[in-house]
Amino acid sequence: MSITVEEIFETVNMTLRQKFDIRTVTLGINLKDCMDRDVDHFCGRIEQRLVSLGRKVNAAADAMEHKYGVPVINRRIAVTPVSILAEPLPKTEATAVRIARTLDHAATQADIDFIGGFGGHVQKGLTASDENLMAALPQALSQTKRVCSFFNLGTTQAGLNMTAIERFGHILKDLAVRSKTGIGCAKVAVFANVPEDNPFMAGAHHGIGEGDYSLNVGISGPGVVKAVVEQNPDCDLTELSEVIKRTVFKITRAGELIGREVASLLELPFGIVDISLAATPAAGDSVAEIIEAMGIHRMGLPGTTAALALLIDAVKKGGAMASGHVGGLSGTFIPVSEDAGMIRAVQEGALTLEKLEALTSVCSVGMDMFAIPGSTPADVISAIIADELAIGVANNKTTSVRVIPVPGKRAGQVVHFGGLLGTAPIMPVAKKASFKFINRKGRMPAPIKSLRN
């Protein structure tokens, strides 16, 4: 892949003026060869490997920052789903918490921002290891700072595991109470059709179809895309799509260049570049403001879904034109707390929980980083999860939920998480929803479109 001088100058301008960055360099690591029936032996093996490789990732990312001047915001590790690694170990919550604390300690020693993979794939059923890990989540995530968890609760091929979904309402309520402002819930995401090469937290893990190692890069440039949209206020939507595609083409090439060089320094294979536009609370770094620059008065008002569909299609096409290694989630995130435009839309009443769910029918992921009253019943939380993941199963796409029931907060109040996690207005939600439906449990059958073979 050759890069021209003109592209380098454009990238420098995007970095200096429009907040373009490499949002994450994530090293996927296979730990299956560390499995053991002795928890001490297992934890010792994984800690040694994670610390050694984590420090190398940091050094390589630093080298690329100095060479190209493009910030590498987060350095992360994703591991084989822990529910698989823990299969030979005692099925106790103490064991699961011990593993989580080992992962956390290793990440701290290596100065890795987050380590993902503390979860499993349970779309069709629960093993004893899966059940133990789920039961331990409130303890494990409240006692660690850098460990992130994912659980895949449904696929288009298998349907929805409603038994696991029913439990997650209770798990999230328990975790919220154990962590300040409920922030522990920001470290766990539940999915339908989760990708195995996603570099973004909290869903990152090293899938069982991956090799021993994989260096994945997540790039982000909502400020860059917003700038080009603002520079083209009068073009029609076809032309606007082309403008966005060309812009994403450029940032994807820059992201892949840096990712490949990091992988080369580590002497490990390059995996994928995820081109998701990921907002931050900083001014000018908002996906919602891109939608508003396209002509929508406020994010969430009529026309938002159509505008978001156009944006995501253009992002995916631009990335696919630029690289044969586009993967992960690739598209656009719409987290509420992490996006200044989303926060403003919720506070003004333009964006409701129902509209947020509707937007996820076209967005890359799902209902992300939204806060609800801490008094919300567990079955209502499970019902929100079921609705969102059903969209993914029915439409053969990835959807997810990262919801934070904030203890002691009521609808209309605000909670401050700080850093990249931002500020969340507490969104109103029904106190009664679908108790009898959720408590039927079992498995919701796969849609007929799953029968493709």
Q: What is the CATH number of the domain that holds 239?
A: 3.20.70.20
Residue 295 and residue 426 in one domain = yes
Look at residue 424 and tell me if it is in a domain. yes
Residue 319's φ and ψ, nearest 5 degrees, are -65, -45
User: Could you say which of 192, 207, 233 is where a domain stops?
Assistant: 192
Residue 252 lies in a domain: yes
Residue labelled with tokens 């380098």 = 8
Cα–Cα distances in Å, from 244 out to 227, 318, 411? 10, 8, 36
User: Rounded CA gap, 151 and 155, in Å?
Assistant: 12
Residue 168 shares a structural domain with residue 315: no
In contact, 335 and 281? CB cutoff 8 Å: no
Structural domain includes residue 450: no
Q: What are phi and psi of 396, to 5 degrees?
A: 55, 45
399 and 312 inside one domain: yes
Query: Which of 192, 227, 246 is the last residue before a domain boundary?
Result: 192
Between vectors from CA 121 to CA 436 and to CA 196, what angle results, nearest 5°?
Answer: 130
The confidence score (pLDDT) of residue 4 equals 54
Beta strands in 301-428 (DSSP E): 367-373, 399-406, 414-416, 423-425
Q: Which amino acid is at 433?
A: A
Judge if 179 and 229 occupy the same domain.
no
User: Are residues 164 and 126 part of one domain?
Assistant: yes
Is 150 a domain residue?
Answer: yes
Question: Cα(242)–Cα(318) distance, rounded to whole angstroms?
Answer: 9
Cβ-count burial 328-366 (b if 16+ within 10 Å, e if not): bbbbbbbbbbbbbbbbbbbeeebbebebbbbbbbbbbbb
165 and 33 in a single domain? The answer is yes
Contact 219, 273 (CB under 8 A): yes
Tell me the residue range of the domain where 64 lies.
23-192
Contacts of 138 (CB under 8 A, 6+ apart): 171, 174, 175, 178, 184
CA angle in degrees (0–180, nearest 5) for 65-67-69:
50
Query: What are phi and psi for residue 313, nearest 5 degrees?
Result: -60, -45
Residue the block writes with tokens 């920001």:
186
Question: Who's near 424: CB < 8 A, 6+ residues apart?
Answer: 336, 337, 343, 369, 370, 371, 404, 406, 414, 415, 417
pLDDT of residue 346: 94
Q: Say if strands 188-192 and 443-444 run parallel, antiparallel, or are unpaired.
A: unpaired
Burial 106-135 (b: 16+ CB within 10 A, else e): bbeebebbbbbbbbbbbbeebbebbbbbbb
Q: Provide the pLDDT for residue 277.
A: 84
Q: Are residues 107 and 248 in the same domain?
A: no
Structure tokens at 88: 């030979």
Q: Tell me, yes or no, whether 254 and 394 share the same domain.
A: yes
Neighbours of 203 (CB within 10 A): 29
Contact, 149 vs 141, CB < 8 A? yes
Q: Are 326 and 319 in contact (CB under 8 A)?
A: yes
Domain limit, last residue, from 143, 158, 192: 192
Tell me, yes or no, whether 232 and 134 share the same domain.
Answer: no
- Provide Rg for the chain, Cα atoms: 21
Q: Check if the beta carbon of residue 77 is closer than 8 Å to that of residue 58.
A: no
For the chain, the domain total comes to 2
Burial class (CB in 10 A: 0-12, 13-18, 19+), 161: buried
Please report the DSSP string for 387-409 in residue order.
Answer: HHHHHHHHHTS-EEEEEEEETT-
Please say whether the dihedral angle defined by the alpha carbons of residues 363, 366, 370 and 372, taken in this order, is positive or negative. positive
**6 assigned to some structural domain:** no
C-alpha span between 426 and 218 (Å, rounded): 29
Same domain (yes/no): 84, 151: yes
Show contacts of 262-266: CB within 8 Å, 24+ apart. 262/25, 262/57, 262/60, 262/61, 262/64, 262/215, 262/217, 263/215, 265/59, 265/60, 265/63, 265/64, 266/27, 266/53, 266/56, 266/57, 266/60, 266/215
pLDDT tens for each residue of the chain, 453 residues long? 455 545 555 655 555 455 677 888 999 999 999 999 999 999 999 999 999 999 999 999 998 888 877 788 889 999 999 999 999 999 999 999 999 999 999 999 999 999 999 999 999 999 999 999 999 999 999 999 999 999 999 999 999 999 999 999 999 999 999 988 888 999 999 999 999 999 888 889 999 989 999 999 988 778 888 988 999 999 999 999 999 998 888 888 888 888 898 999 999 999 998 888 887 777 677 899 999 999 999 999 999 999 999 999 999 999 888 888 888 888 888 889 888 899 999 999 999 999 999 999 988 788 999 999 999 999 999 999 999 999 999 999 999 999 999 999 999 899 888 777 788 899 999 888 888 999 999 999 988 877 776
Which secondary structure element, helix H or strand E, spans residue 78, and what is its range? strand 72-79
Domain membership of residue 210 (yes or no) is no
* 4 in a structural domain: no
Q: Are residues 112 and 248 in the same domain?
A: no
Residues 274, 329 contacting (CB under 8 angstroms):
yes
pLDDT score at 94: 96
Tokens of 310: 């156009």
DSSP codes joined into one string, 128-164:
HHHHHHHHHHHHHHHS-SSEEEEEEEEETTTEEEHHH
Among the listed residues 272, 276, 205, 266, the one whose alpha carbon sits nearest the alpha carbon of residue 23: 276
Q: Does a structural domain hold residue 182?
A: yes
Same domain for 305 and 418, yes or no, is yes
